[in-house]
Structure 1
């Protein structure tokens, strides 16, 4: 069973995110009673959709640009004190383990880090953060409106909490890493809350 989506401070889910939570928590169903192929746990959920953001160079990037690739999306922010860096570390450790065992399949996987803190996460800042975890990780940011569109498409909750100074604030946000198939359809949540081996095992289960 995939990890349960949960906001960092355990704040109530909005309706869209709650629907994803319920769908993700359901056990995978067998395609037939005899124990055939297993359906992806997120199959049929209303997750995903096109968005327009920018990469580390400021170049416009759309979700549709990665059509034909397996896509992994993690929403977070670079100023996150602990959870985001650890989750992304597990994500990329898992990706690299998978790549060593299955290089051809891994070549078709695009891991992405999408900032929900565009005020501080400029293209350069997001690029530096992503590069620390490997050249394969695509760092994306955008205007507040662009980020809101991307977050809504993936039922991502986020909210700013004021700090001691205007720049010293934290972002409360949902914690999940989405695996999407080459058609852009939702497949599973990657267990970034566990470790790299768990992430690699989940990639191996679905990526073909």
Structure 2
């Protein structure tokens, strides 16, 4: 069973915590992770790109010039795809990119992702992630205490949404927030490190364990 330190906001160690093996020590299935992440990314696509075909472009009903004896190539419509302002050949049309992901696959991909992060030492636990008022400097100083660089992508995982915490960290590059109930394989692997509040970790283990 994996044991990691629990820190306070000032960077001091306040205890140790065993990570639940059924959540953080599962087999890492890279193929499944890749499949599920591709599906999440496809589902985020709007699919609204559209171009007009020659039959949809306005105008072009009249033959631009007679067929013969002009010295120019034959032309039947100014809306031909080879003309400027004409229709588009094989252009994009609105479509649905959505891919259904079975719940079991979503869960297994999340467990694999969390296990990979834990194996690589990319999980940190802070006993309480709270601020009395929205103050970016307080949050920024806390990150400096743990030695994180500004370019590091940090995913703070909380038990529930905290407006003060969110407002304190939202302007810091690379910092994002999520609740334990919304965590998925894509959000996990998009981060360089995951920082759990103790309650957020308990909530996640209760959900997945």
TM normalised by structure 2 equals: 0.28
**Richer in strand (by share):** 1
TM normalised by structure 1 equals: 0.28
